[in-house]
Amino acid sequence: MTIIDFLIKNYILFIMLVGMFIITLFDVYLDRSMIIKLRVVLGLIFALSVFNELETYTGSLEHFVYWRLPLSVICYTLRPTIIMMLFFIVRPKISKLIVLPAVLNFLVSSTAFFSGIAFSFETEINHFVRGPLGYTPYIITVIYIMTLYFITIRTLTTSISEEGIVILFIALTATFSAVLAYQDHSEVVDLTYSTDVLLYYMYLYAQYTKRDQLTPVFNRQTMNSDLKRHPENITGIISIDMNDLKWLNDNKGHKEGDKALKTITGCFCSAVTKKERIYRIGGDEFIIICKDRSEEEIKKLVEDISLSVSDTGYSCACGYSFGKNIDEMLKESDELMYKDKARIKEELKAKGIVHLRNSI
């Protein structure tokens, strides 16, 4: 097989790999570590396709050539390694112990250099012979896939989320690719891996377009969309407005204002559960949508947020509405928030304080 034949055979795979690499060059959303992980996986997939093709070629020869041995070891090692790397993409904070099965697989595969316990070759006829531990790569792959299913189940049992569905799809395709790898359909396996990486990248990119660029919460467009999805489950809405953000920006600079916004949204995120979503809908305005929560729970959440924010030295006005239709709750929570804002200003005036930050 010539290089041209190889490129034609793997044309779609290479387009995806090169295209993904080019996209990562201009990405402005993902952090540097995630970009590096994506590029590593893309490189491993490319390496697997090249080495697998070379191994297939050496296996087609009449006589055994030594290079078939290291090529086989590399191919045995790479497939479970690529699945292992997927964990660091879908779960960046996963324990480093996840690498141990891949390391074990590498050690077992490497025994082919001096033993037939994993595999060997009948050099006279260039025939591959699987040893007692020859199925180790497949077993390790199954272990990784089952772990991926476990992560998926945990994600979906908490809530039916987009991420859980995407990870489930990746787990399913990884399962099918493991079956295909066992049946020597390696070109389909490589394409499946690259498709999974592309899919998760697209998911991550979509998530970033849903979020506020400064803070870790969602943006107004996402809120408008979420309000239309299952409105019957929305039992309450909380409106929040940060006090004195304009004063901070004008007197301390926008850097200090940005710091304040990040600080108070950190308080919001620490207080909410899976049943609430936070949105930044303006410069200093936020909305929290509460699903399947009682009025007592929502009131307690507002109190927790106010207390948590006050501990940072900042202040915010809050108002909530419960048990009405969406439009009514948005209007009422907003009105109550402005009443709370007026109350806070009156209390500060009574103490002779014009701006809250002057008291710190």
Q: What is the pLDDT of residues 149-172, one digit of tens each?
A: 887 777 666 555 677 787 788 778
Positive/negative CA dihedral, 132, 133, 138, 144:
positive
**pLDDT over threshold 80, residue 179:** no
Average pLDDT over residues 274-279: 91
Report the domain count for the chain: 2
| One domain, residues 312 and 291 | yes
| One domain, residues 231 and 141 | no
Average pLDDT over residues 183-209: 74
pLDDT band per the 50, 70, 90 thresholds, residue 229: confident
The pLDDT score that the predictor gives to residue 354 is: 56
Domain range for 247 is 218-359
Encoded tokens for 10: 């793997």
| One domain, residues 144 and 227 | no
| One domain, residues 189 and 85 | yes
Residue with the larger pLDDT of the pair 83 and 351 = 83
| One domain, residues 108 and 169 | yes
Residues 6+ away with beta carbon under 8 Å from 54: 67, 71
What's the pLDDT tens digit per position in 277-297?
999 998 899 999 999 999 999
| One domain, residues 151 and 248 | no
Q: Where a domain ends, among 182, 209, 236?
A: 209
**Rg of the Cα atoms in the chain:** 28
**pLDDT over threshold 90, residue 338:** yes
pLDDT band per the 50, 70, 90 thresholds, residue 359: very low
Phi/psi for 129 (5° steps) reads -125, 115
Q: Where a domain ends, among 157, 180, 209?
A: 209
Residue with the larger pLDDT of the pair 119 and 354 = 119
Residue with the larger pLDDT of the pair 129 and 8 = 129
Helix axes 162-182, 136-158, angle to 10 degrees: 160
Encoded tokens for 302: 């507002």
Average pLDDT over residues 272-278: 90
| One domain, residues 285 and 251 | yes
| One domain, residues 173 and 283 | no
The pLDDT score that the predictor gives to residue 360 is: 41
What's the pLDDT tens digit per position in 44-70?
989 988 898 889 889 888 889 999 999
Q: Where a domain ends, among 181, 209, 237?
A: 209
What's the pLDDT tens digit per position in 77-86?
998 898 898 8
**pLDDT over threshold 80, residue 211:** yes
| One domain, residues 232 and 102 | no
| One domain, residues 177 and 324 | no
| One domain, residues 36 and 175 | yes
| One domain, residues 100 and 180 | yes
